[in-house]
Structures are given as structure tokens and as C-alpha cells.
Amino acid sequence: MHDRVWLGSDVWANPMEDWRVIDGAAECQSLGSNRSIHSITHQITNPVNFFAMAVRVQQVGSKGTDGGAGFRIGIRSEINEYRSNCFAAKGVNAGVTE
């Protein structure tokens, strides 16, 4: 994958203008809080069933306070539609902080 601004059609980035593909990886260009990438191709509809997620993270620069990286699962908007779910802030956080 070549370097570019747009991450791709299978994800939604918040805010979109803060993300780039650099050396084949998604890279956030901002230190602001709640920067996120959402898979828009899959949705967990039965939380009783098993699922697994994995991601590799790397800090490429340090210009200020790092908020960390991880997953937020169980994100749902009031209407629980996959596009509106990308903007909901509540869910279960798991990952590395600061």
C-alpha cells in the first residue's frame, strides 16, 4: 500500500483529516484525544459468540502527551446503525494508556 491521506474503504477514521497511511500503516498526525479508526465491514451482533481482535501499535514520534492505543468495543449510537456508531463515544476500553 502506498503512502496516502485516505485510509481505505473498509474503515472510517475520526477525524478523517488526522490520519495517513505511512509505510503501509495507519498513522495519526494529531495528539488530540479520541482519535479512532472503525471497521465498517464487520459488526458483532451476538456478543455471546467468540471473537478475537489484534493490532500492532508503535509510537513513531513524541511531541507531547501520548494518550495510548487500544480497542473500544461495544460502541453503539442511539440508532445502532454502523455509520452512526462511528461517532458514539461510549464503549469498553482495552489497551495501553499514556
Report whether pLDDT(18) > 90: yes
The residue ranges of every structural domain in the chain are 11-97
Question: 18 near 52, Cβ under 8 Å?
Answer: no
Report whether pLDDT(19) > 90: yes
> What's the pLDDT tens digit per position in 50-67?
888 888 888 777 676 667
Q: pTM to 2 decimals?
A: 0.78
> What's the pLDDT tens digit per position in 30-50?
888 888 999 898 888 887 888
pLDDT score, position 22 = 94
Report phi then psi at 86, rounded to 5. Answer: -65, -15
Nearest-5° Cα angle at 71, 82 to 2? 80
Report phi then psi at 82, rounded to 5. Answer: -55, -35
DSSP state of 82: H
pLDDT score, position 79 = 93
Mean pLDDT, the chain, rounded, equals: 86
